[in-house]
Amino acid sequence: MVGYGFMGMAHSQGWRNARSFFDPPLRPRLAALGGRNRDAAGELADRFDWPVVETDWRALVARDDVHVVDVCTPGDTHAEIAVAALEAGKHVLCEKPLANTVAEAEAMAEAAAKAREHGVRSMLGFTYRRVPALSLARRLVAEGRLGRLRHVRARYLQDWLTDPTAPYTWRMSRERAGSGALGDIGAHAVDLAQFLTGEFVSGVSAVTDTFVHERPLPDGGGTGAVTVDDAAVFLGRLDGGALASFEATRYATGRKNALRIELNGDRGSLAFDLEELNVLHFHDATADTVVQGFTRILVTEPEHPYLEAWWPPGHGLGYEHAFAHQAVDLLSAIDAGTDPEPSFADGLRVQRVLAAVEESHEAGGSWTAIPAPATAAETA
Amino acid sequence: MVGYGFMGMAHSQGWRNARSFFDPPLRPRLAALGGRNRDAAGELADRFDWPVVETDWRALVARDDVHVVDVCTPGDTHAEIAVAALEAGKHVLCEKPLANTVAEAEAMAEAAAKAREHGVRSMLGFTYRRVPALSLARRLVAEGRLGRLRHVRARYLQDWLTDPTAPYTWRMSRERAGSGALGDIGAHAVDLAQFLTGEFVSGVSAVTDTFVHERPLPDGGGTGAVTVDDAAVFLGRLDGGALASFEATRYATGRKNALRIELNGDRGSLAFDLEELNVLHFHDATADTVVQGFTRILVTEPEHPYLEAWWPPGHGLGYEHAFAHQAVDLLSAIDAGTDPEPSFADGLRVQRVLAAVEESHEAGGSWTAIPAPATAAETA
Amino acid sequence: MVGYGFMGMAHSQGWRNARSFFDPPLRPRLAALGGRNRDAAGELADRFDWPVVETDWRALVARDDVHVVDVCTPGDTHAEIAVAALEAGKHVLCEKPLANTVAEAEAMAEAAAKAREHGVRSMLGFTYRRVPALSLARRLVAEGRLGRLRHVRARYLQDWLTDPTAPYTWRMSRERAGSGALGDIGAHAVDLAQFLTGEFVSGVSAVTDTFVHERPLPDGGGTGAVTVDDAAVFLGRLDGGALASFEATRYATGRKNALRIELNGDRGSLAFDLEELNVLHFHDATADTVVQGFTRILVTEPEHPYLEAWWPPGHGLGYEHAFAHQAVDLLSAIDAGTDPEPSFADGLRVQRVLAAVEESHEAGGSWTAIPAPATAAETA
Amino acid sequence: MVGYGFMGMAHSQGWRNARSFFDPPLRPRLAALGGRNRDAAGELADRFDWPVVETDWRALVARDDVHVVDVCTPGDTHAEIAVAALEAGKHVLCEKPLANTVAEAEAMAEAAAKAREHGVRSMLGFTYRRVPALSLARRLVAEGRLGRLRHVRARYLQDWLTDPTAPYTWRMSRERAGSGALGDIGAHAVDLAQFLTGEFVSGVSAVTDTFVHERPLPDGGGTGAVTVDDAAVFLGRLDGGALASFEATRYATGRKNALRIELNGDRGSLAFDLEELNVLHFHDATADTVVQGFTRILVTEPEHPYLEAWWPPGHGLGYEHAFAHQAVDLLSAIDAGTDPEPSFADGLRVQRVLAAVEESHEAGGSWTAIPAPATAAETA
């Protein structure tokens, strides 16, 4: 695993819990942790029993005892590490967003397609797909319970930049992060819209904004320039005809981690909010009229996705549990010789939407079409 | 009062309740009800004790015992009736939307400005401004409790056309209704965004759609062509810099009357849903961190707007109560010689936004700027 | 109608709305308003167009143009007025609680039974039974949708006495009010438990308390002694075997009018809160497990009880609307020659529970059985 | 650690996470797992890296490398194991309820008091005290934010026995489990009421019931007799004067794990539901009236109890996280030489309430006083 920050911690917990709570056909063994900062990486290794720390990711990728490379670094390094790992024949799990640019994303999808020919698997870390309520949502849509889709509303609202004196971080740098709220959290909203509906966004009109342009450096010396968006609002269409509305912001005061998505079809609707992650709201328009309404499903029954491995009904899961689900599903796919989802191609499709948002914004909010996947790498 | 449909009933109840529960300085007396269909108008007159029915609105406007003309007809007749009434020196309350076109709206704002010089008042029926929770919301914004605004999200979701076999009505005809969800309910969303913030929408990008193009006529003979939008999604900017996102639809399955609006500022946030009309959610970002969150204010205390006249705390109001508040405020303004709000100019500003939405849609979703008010009539 | 306070206003509005929004077979005409204080009664009469004010209720009862006597006075006068009216051959609608003592309640039930033999109808104002969500709840229970009942939880929480300096009113006097929170609001909780289940409470254990014993008189001169309960907590059993838990209090800080009731049966559950009066929560335990949960039914569809007369879906009702439903149902019963519900006998059954609560409390919280109805008057 | 069931898993995860996410002054090392069934214990050991399995708990207690004994077995074995471990000088963490009888609980409190003289610590596993929202609730009460308490409502609602054909388990046996819903989940409700208020329950009136008396054995051969309560409803008083209402049931259809508690004081109120475990509702009655209401606090900020160790704001915790908090606090207390909470004496106080509930029930629901703690062991 490369990376030792917030994501390094979440992934470490995911691998460990996959083994303790599930019975994956391949049993994960933590081999080595990669991180340029040996002290910081060493502390994480100590907490989660990583036996080895490598300060050069190339050394980690070269190790014989490493079969899966889990990339948890900032977005600007994803392409280089993931492509190298795939070429070295290692299965790859890569944190989202796939890359900082469409070009990088295309190269990665290409590399994944090639590696696949040799049985090497790649998977992208849109982990929220494996929050049980959202896995259930996908199942209900796929079963046709919503009928013909008319509307999708997907927004990811946070508020950690509301205060104009909140300090500067690498996430505000276009070079490191690629974009701001758009790529960090908007990517989740777009991926979920595409995942839940099974359709692609075919075009957008967008406005983005940077409300605060300079922020104090955390070390107290001066300010850093914010070169990414603080917020992005866009509307679009899914290729099945539904109207879509998106938003990603770090200025939604009081909304801490509100990834909200609602789907309306002519037979039913679904609504979800990540701040209440064990709950899915489902409206069945085919039910008896007098008892129709949104049903608040507490997604903690053994019949619900992934829940059989955990606690009794009503004992909720937390943020990190989906990382175990992701690990289990990757191990199962490697064992079965199938392709895990989401693929790098799925990531590329999200990247194309993000790029179209920026393009639309730069063109003053005009409609920007997104081409349908054309190459084999994009449809994997 | 002209009109005997759903709105005629709501306004009749409003006038009556204004007298029974409040102490307006002018006491309303129901003079005459206008309606082309004498039977239908007569039935409403009988239910609410209107002493006279006039089948020609011109006769009604000409009556000496009529001092206020309340226009509750479909949008295509607003301009003609309202302008005639104002010219006859009658105060006018006109249902929303102000008109079906910008040109008509301009003429009405002009007429209102002229009439005002002679002490004749005009008011537009964006009644939701007087739902106590929304009146309170405006007060909190005006007091600066939200600080600098960053985001507005306003959507009005209904679902009565989800079923493709739902029958055809005049609301689906461009000639009668002007537009579909956009003017019928989107107008409320736009008005509230402008009212609550005290700012104007300065531009939009929009997509609208008609999902079902033919609907069965209610009499069973054939189908009617749907010539208006079923749904409209648009994003925009307020002239103070906030990003705005709007939606109006009749296809949001399970959402019956969900006029939802949220404002985020750097000091606080507000959220409201008309399906829970006695409640306002307020997040105070200046409070002690450990107890911050959205406070669910049950807006039924005597200290809340309009509530002193009604029931004890916790005894909620319903949909129709805001019509009484509207009537009281109009009577108070007439008595005081001041201008009631919302004005026809406010209606014109909403109309300009609706027109820009249609223009943007026709131009393929491109950004469409909305000019700032220029004439005296528009800034009234 | 006798009485001109809060209830006088609610009933006036109810009678008026019954005529304007419904088509009762008998059309109500406001005949005369009774009230000892001519000025206060006169003001209400003026607001609601009562043509006559009588300062002696006996004169009102004696009037030939009065066919229904609506008793809205404090509880200590109910028995005398209602019995006299019934004996004079007038139909009677009496506000709850039926009376201040079991003896009075028995006399009233007796009088109602006698009057009934001559086609004279009596009805008790447990108006909440006609809040549409609660009417629907009863319908669902009666249809067997909850199966065998195991639990009932009914509490009525208010907070207007939380502040120890809140002023003294007649509701704190045992002589006038009979009891405190118990009879004022606990009576509703007990009636709803019995109404929704169709069963009787067969015994209770109870504790009541008076937290503040002296309160300032509203005129500023000294204090009044609080001689009633501030709160009552009791548990009980329904005769069908379900366990029941009750509470009534004026000290539930932040709960303004929270009449909450939940029923659990082996096939389903229902939950309701009067602070959200247009909503009923229904859990169907026979549904597909993966989509089970509490469904939030917005009780505003034309298929819901009483709703066809009101506004379109999603346009909520308020507190006072149930008074119109009560009026319509009484008029329909009179016309049809059937017995309206709730009957005085229903009120007597509630009164017996309240008396048992007080008895249990005085006996230190011991179990107190409630006899099953024995006489004809009690089973009417 | 002794025990390998549901609780064995939760505690294993707790110890592991304590080390990975926190920095306890003493670093826990998993020494040995005790379990009579070597295969079942072995599987848990394998999943969580317990290096040794002991099939005799006496051997485990005797090991030199064991410093803390964590008792996760059914209640009938708690006393024997815990007392032996304390006498062997091992610190003890014991799952709730402390014991199946008051006599056992007294012996354990006695043993804990003795051991304490030698610096040996004991702690009881009322883990919910360390759900961050409830830790915060205690802090707010202790700070006086609720003022003088008037009401406590605590109920723990589950529904896994609603179906009369649900299979028999050891939890339905009086011999093994001591009691049914009462001791299993009612104990949590009582402990929280006492913990949050800092007061004791001084008396109760109670009714319990067993709705289904025979259940099919899981192996298909015949039925087992249910010898414990299915549900318990009781009311009581706290020694500070507040009225309390309790309920524990396994028949609340649709409520999966609804541990709900509400406190009302004359300055504020708190409400919590374990089905939404990251949320605390707080009503501040001293705030400006127009913005008063229940604030929905998402308890995921770094300023909230235990949260600094976990994820960013809005990224919720799950059921098991409180077990890590418990482990950390025990280790900190051992290191500091202080007494961890809850103590065995706290457990005894809960046990006395449970015993009073059963006594009251057997006496037909009569009031049963609970003596104040008398001995040193009980006030530890």
**Burial state string for B23-42 with b = 16 or more CB within 10 A and e = fewer than 16:** ebeeebebbbbbbeeeeebb
Beta bridge partners of A157: A249, A258
Three-class SS of chain C: CECCCHHHHHHHHHHHHHHHHCCCCCCCCCCCEECCCHHHHHHHHHHHCCCCEECCHHHHHHCCCCCEEEECCCHHHHHHHHHHHHHCCCEEEEECCCCCCHHHHHHHHHHHHHHHHCCCCEEEECHHHHCHHHHHHHHHHHCCCCCCEEEEEEEEECCCCCCCCCCCCHHHCHHHHCCCHHHHHHHHHHHHHHHHHCCCEEEEEEEEECCCCEEECCCCCCEEECCCCCEEEEEEEECCCCEEEEEEECCCCCCCCEEEEEEEECCEEEEEEHHHCCEEEEEECCCCHHHCCEEEEECCCCCCCCHHHCCCCCCCCCCCHHHHHHHHHHHHHHHHCCCCCCCHHHHHHHHHHHHHHHHHHHCCCCCEECCCCCCHHHHC
pLDDT band at C245 (very low <50, low <70, confident <90, very high): very high
Which chain B positions have a beta carbon within 8 Å of C10's beta carbon?
A: 311
Mutate: best of C234, C235, C360, partner D, most D CBs <10 A: C235
Asked if residue A377 has pLDDT above 80, the reply is no
- The partner residue sitting opposite B297, judged by closest CB among D136, D282, D293, is D293
Whole-angstrom Cα distance, residue A250 to residue C304? 42
CA distance B313 to chain A (A): 27
Of C189, C186, C155, which is closest to residue C171 (Cα–Cα)?
A: C186
Q: Report the percentage of chain B scoring pLDDT > 70.
A: 98
B6/C13 Cβ within 8 A: no
C256/B314 Cβ within 8 A: yes
What is residue A4's predicted lDDT score, i.e. its pLDDT?
Answer: 83
The matching CATH number, chosen from 3.40.50.300, 3.30.360.10, 3.30.2290.10, 3.40.605.10, for D132-276+278-317 is: 3.30.360.10
Who's near C143: CB < 8 A, 6+ residues apart? none
Asked if residue A214 has pLDDT above 90, the reply is yes
Instruction: List chain B domain ranges.
Output: 6-128, 132-276+278-317
pLDDT band at C380 (very low <50, low <70, confident <90, very high): low
- State which amino acid sits at residue C328: V
- The partner residue sitting opposite C265, judged by closest CB among D233, D245, D253, is D253
Chains interfacing with A (3 or more CB pairs < 8 Å): B, C, D
Of D88, D186, D79, which is closest to residue D124 (Cα–Cα)?
A: D79
Query: CA A95, A100, A106, A111 torsion: positive or negative?
Result: negative
Asked if residue B219 has pLDDT above 90, the reply is no
Cα-Cα-Cα-Cα torsion C316, C320, C322, C325, nearest 10 degrees, comes to -110
D302 phi and psi, to 5 degrees?
-60, -25
Which pLDDT tens digits describe chain D residue by residue (380 residues)? 888 888 999 999 999 999 999 999 999 999 999 999 999 999 999 999 999 999 999 999 999 999 999 999 988 899 999 999 999 999 999 999 899 999 999 999 999 999 999 999 999 999 999 999 999 999 999 999 999 999 999 999 999 999 999 999 999 999 999 999 999 999 999 999 999 999 999 999 999 999 999 999 988 889 999 999 999 999 999 999 999 999 999 999 999 999 999 999 999 999 999 999 999 999 999 999 999 999 999 999 999 999 999 999 999 999 999 999 999 999 999 999 999 999 999 999 999 999 999 999 999 999 999 988 776 667 66
B275/C298 Cβ within 8 A: yes
Using alpha carbons only, give the angle C250, C254, C256 rounded to the nearest 5 degrees. Answer: 60
In chain A, the largest separation of any two C-alpha atoms, in whole Å, equals 65
pLDDT band at C372 (very low <50, low <70, confident <90, very high): confident
What is residue B376's predicted lDDT score, i.e. its pLDDT?
Answer: 63
Residue C29's CB is within 10 A of a number of other CB atoms, namely: 10
Do A81 and A1 form a contact (C-beta atoms < 8 A)? no
DSSP code string of B49-62? T-S-EESSHHHHHH
For residues A193-201, give the mean pLDDT: 97
Of A346, A371, A315, A354, which is closest to residue A138 (Cα–Cα)?
A: A346
CA C17 to each of CA A96, B315, C46, C277, C320: distance values in angstroms, whole numbers, following the listed order: 60, 18, 17, 19, 10
A257/D314 Cβ within 8 A: yes
Radius of gyration for the alpha carbons in chain A, expressed in angstroms and rounded? 21
What is residue A227's predicted lDDT score, i.e. its pLDDT?
Answer: 96
Q: Is the peptide bond before D24 cis (omega within 30 degrees of 0)?
A: no
Chains interfacing with D (3 or more CB pairs < 8 Å): A, B, C
Element containing residue A38 per DSSP (H, E) = helix A38-48
- State which amino acid sits at residue C317: L
Do B95 and B262 form a contact (C-beta atoms < 8 A)? no
A151/B231 Cβ within 8 A: yes
Residue with tokens 């759903």: B6
Search chain A and give the residue with CA nearest D49. A20
- The partner residue sitting opposite A367, judged by closest CB among B203, B249, B365, is B365
| Side-chain-side CA neighbours of residue D136 (13 Å) | 28
B292/D140 Cβ within 8 A: no
- State which amino acid sits at residue C185: I
Do C244 and C234 form a contact (C-beta atoms < 8 A)? no
Using alpha carbons only, give the angle C54, C59, C62 rounded to the nearest 5 degrees. Answer: 130
Whole-angstrom Cα distance, residue C344 to residue C105? 8
Do D206 and D233 form a contact (C-beta atoms < 8 A)? yes
Whole-angstrom Cα distance, residue B209 to residue B329? 37
- The partner residue sitting opposite B289, judged by closest CB among D139, D296, D303, is D303
Of A14, A61, A16, which is closest to residue A34 (Cα–Cα)?
A: A61
Residue length of chain A: 380
pLDDT band at B309 (very low <50, low <70, confident <90, very high): very high
What is residue B363's predicted lDDT score, i.e. its pLDDT?
Answer: 93
Model confidence pLDDT, tens digit, residues D13-29: 999 999 999 999 999 99
Mutate: best of C267, C290, C299, C308, partner A, most A CBs <10 A: C290
Model confidence pLDDT, tens digit, residues A13-23: 999 999 999 99
Search chain D and give the residue with CA nearest A295. D254
Cα-to-chain-centroid distance, residue A312: 28
CA distance A296 to chain C (A): 5
pLDDT band at C12 (very low <50, low <70, confident <90, very high): very high
Element containing residue B192 per DSSP (H, E) = helix B187-197
CA distance D274 to chain A (A): 8
- The partner residue sitting opposite A297, judged by closest CB among C140, C284, C293, is C293
What is residue A376's predicted lDDT score, i.e. its pLDDT?
Answer: 63
Of B319, A178, A224, A58, which is closest to residue C298 (Cα–Cα)?
A: B319
B333 phi and psi, to 5 degrees?
-65, -45
| Side-chain-side CA neighbours of residue C19 (13 Å) | 15
Beta bridge partners of A224: A215
What is residue D80's predicted lDDT score, i.e. its pLDDT?
Answer: 95
- The partner residue sitting opposite D297, judged by closest CB among B136, B292, B304, is B292
B247/A268 Cβ within 8 A: no
Do B347 and B109 form a contact (C-beta atoms < 8 A)? yes
Asked if residue B380 has pLDDT above 90, the reply is no
Whole-angstrom Cα distance, residue D128 to residue D130? 5
Which chain D positions have a beta carbon within 8 Å of A256's beta carbon?
A: 298, 300-301, 313-314
Name the pairing type of β-strands C231-238 and A223-225: unpaired
CA distance A78 to chain B (A): 32
Name the pairing type of β-strands A122-125 and A149-157: unpaired
What is residue C379's predicted lDDT score, i.e. its pLDDT?
Answer: 67
Which chain C positions have a beta carbon within 8 Å of A298's beta carbon?
A: 293
Query: CA D26, D28, D31, D34 torsion: positive or negative?
Result: positive
pLDDT band at C291 (very low <50, low <70, confident <90, very high): very high
Class of domain A6-128: alpha beta
Residue C218's CB is within 10 A of a number of other CB atoms, namely: 10
C296/A295 Cβ within 8 A: yes
Mutate: best of D207, D230, D253, D263, partner C, most C CBs <10 A: D253
Indicate the average pLDDT of chain A. Answer: 95
Whole-angstrom Cα distance, residue C238 to residue C201? 4
Q: Is the peptide bond before A97 cis (omega within 30 degrees of 0)?
A: yes
Whole-angstrom Cα distance, residue C232 to residue C181? 7
- State which amino acid sits at residue B223: T
Model confidence pLDDT, tens digit, residues C129-155: 999 999 999 999 999 999 999 999 999
Q: Is B11 in a helix, a strand, or coil? A: helix
Model confidence pLDDT, tens digit, residues A22-50: 999 999 999 999 999 999 999 999 999 99
Which chain C positions have a beta carbon within 8 Å of B291's beta carbon?
A: none
Which tokens belong to A365?
């909010």
Residue A333's CB is within 10 A of a number of other CB atoms, namely: 18
Chains interfacing with C (3 or more CB pairs < 8 Å): A, B, D
Whole-angstrom Cα distance, residue A154 to residue A131? 16
